Every structure is written in C-alpha cells, then in structure tokens.
Amino acid sequence: MQRRIFGLAAVVITVVGAAGCGSSDPADSGSSSSGGDKTTQVKVGIIPIIDLAPLYLGQKKGFFSSRGIELEMVSAQGGAAIIPGVVSDQFQFGFSNTTSLMIAQVKGVPIKSVVNGAASNGKVGGDVTGVAVKKDSSIKSAKDLAGHTVAVNTLQNIGSTTVRESVRKAGGDPEKVTFVEMPFDQMPAALDGGRVDAAWMGDPAMTIAKAQGARVVASPFAETDPQLTVATYFTSTQLVKQKPDLVKKFAAAMSESLQYASDHPDEARQILTTYTKIGGDVLNKLTLPSWPAEVDMASLEKLASLGEEDGLFDGKKPDLNALFS
C-alpha cells in the first residue's frame, strides 16, 4: 500500500498554472474508429496500490473495452501530481483518497468524483489500515498513543485525522499524538528499529511489520466509520461538461469492476501480481479493502467534520454534494 493517502502539497500552485492548460476537447485526441465503432483512449492517473485491483481486473475482463474505452494506467509520483494532472487533462481520470479531494475542492480545484474506489472493510483489528506497535511496546490501545510518535505517510490528511478519532474514541487526548511523515515502505523498519513508537499503515507494509512481531492497536478507518469511503475515482469538471457520455461509461465500467472484484476476491488478489511487486506469502496474507459500488455519504460527512476539526480546510467547508453526488 505504497501510498494509500494522497498528499496535496504544491497542488494549488501547480493547478493555478495547469487549469488553463488543458486541451479544449479532452480525450478526443485518443479516439479512433474501426468498423464504425468508436474507441476512446483514456488515461487514468494512479499509484500502483492494492485499492486499484478492480480497475485492472475490469480492464482484463473487458468491462471497459465493451463500452468503447481503451484504458491506459499512468503511474504518477503521488497524489499531488494526480490531481493537477487530471485538471490539466494529462489524465482523464484519477484515483485519490476522499480527504485529499475535499482539500482540493475547498482550494478551488475544479474536480468531481465520478465513482467509488475503495472503502474500509469495517473489521476492527483486521481492516485495510491499522496502527501497529512493536510486540513489547507499552502501548496497548489507541488511548495509549497520546504522548507518542505515530508515522503516517502524509501529514494533515486522512491518516492523521482518522488516527486522532481512534484516540478520541478510546478516551485519549488526540492533541498529544505527534505525527511523523514517512513513506509506507519505510515504516516497518522504522517501527522495528524504534525510530517511531507506532505506525499507521496498510498492506503490504502491515504484513511485513507483523512478520517482525508488530501488533495492531487501532483500526482508524473502521473506528471512524465501518463503512468509510476511503477513495474514489475523479475527473475534472471540464470533462464532465464536455464529455458526459464518456464519464458515464467510465463510471459504469468501474462499477461493474468493483462488483466483480467484490464477488471474486481471489481474482482481485491475483491481479495484484500484474501491476505491483507483491507476491508470495505477502500476497496470500494481505488484507483487501471493501469495494462497494456506491460512496457512503454519511461516512464522508463524518470525515469532513473531522477534517474541519483538524483544520484541514482553512476554515471552509467542502461541498460534499457537489463533489461526490
């Protein structure tokens, strides 16, 4: 899960320049006709993580090609590159966690979520992300995280916000948690070496940490809301206006892909070997997210409220209906 959470550092600066640089007719340059059937080439900005298994599975099963869409997945350096990349039409669609999309919206970035991406599986102690500590740590629960350092991959985003909620629900003081920014793949070693007291991570990092003896003391997503919508696929508001049929077809293909992945978890797990370096024992042991076809608006309202409380939106409120419905 190398980057489940997309940071937005530098997004505003980038988008100011990028917003006016998109092509006047998005996605047209990639269209071709053969035998009267029009195929549209669509680029999706991604980071190769577990959450995207349905996208690759849907491509393999022909859910996109049957709707005239030829997918090209383009790996970006991070979420801070995906969002402006979508706005500038470098990508027609992108994948991002929902907090990052809210942060972008309140900063005036013209984006809209078009279909669900991934959600918590709702299992406390066995969710897609968790806070892990060393086996011999004095930290026994989320409450005990107060006064300690917790590694997250991006500061002031969905990770720190939901970890604070876990601490708060357990009766601890979330203001006394110190967050340290660190890439997911570095967290198991940092935890094992005592450089941080705890680490918020998902697979494959979590499976690696557990093999070193780490134990989970909190499940921030599930504890925030067992149906928490974690990430979605999004596009630019420009593409929604100019190519509504393309957006609808992409959303329909993605919805079919999410359903198929939910119904065939073994195939979803196996598709990971085609676009990540995950394999062997880690592949068999890793925890999959939930892939519902619809976003859960109640969970997004809760996430937005927590983001406001943490000061993520600079005193503004994200318009969830405009962004997600």
pLDDT at 81: 80
User: Per-residue pLDDT for 28 more than 90?
Assistant: no
pLDDT at 238: 97
- Given this chain, do its domains 11-120+227-324 and 129-224 carry the same CATH topology? yes
Encoded tokens for 143: 């409450």
- Ordered by start, the domain boundaries in the chain are 11-120+227-324, 129-224
User: Per-residue pLDDT for 27 more than 70?
Assistant: no
Mean pLDDT across the chain: 89
| CATH architecture for the domain at 11-120+227-324 | 3-Layer(aba) Sandwich (3.40)
Please determine, looking at this structure, whether the domain spanning 129-224 carries the CATH number 3.60.15.10: no
Residue 266 dihedral angles phi and psi, to the nearest 5°: -65, -40
Per DSSP (E only), the strands in 107-152 are: 111-119, 129-133, 149-152
pLDDT in tens, 254-310: 999 999 999 999 999 999 999 999 999 999 999 999 999 999 999 999 999 999 999
Which run of H or E residues covers position 240? helix 237-242
- The DSSP output letter for 44 is E
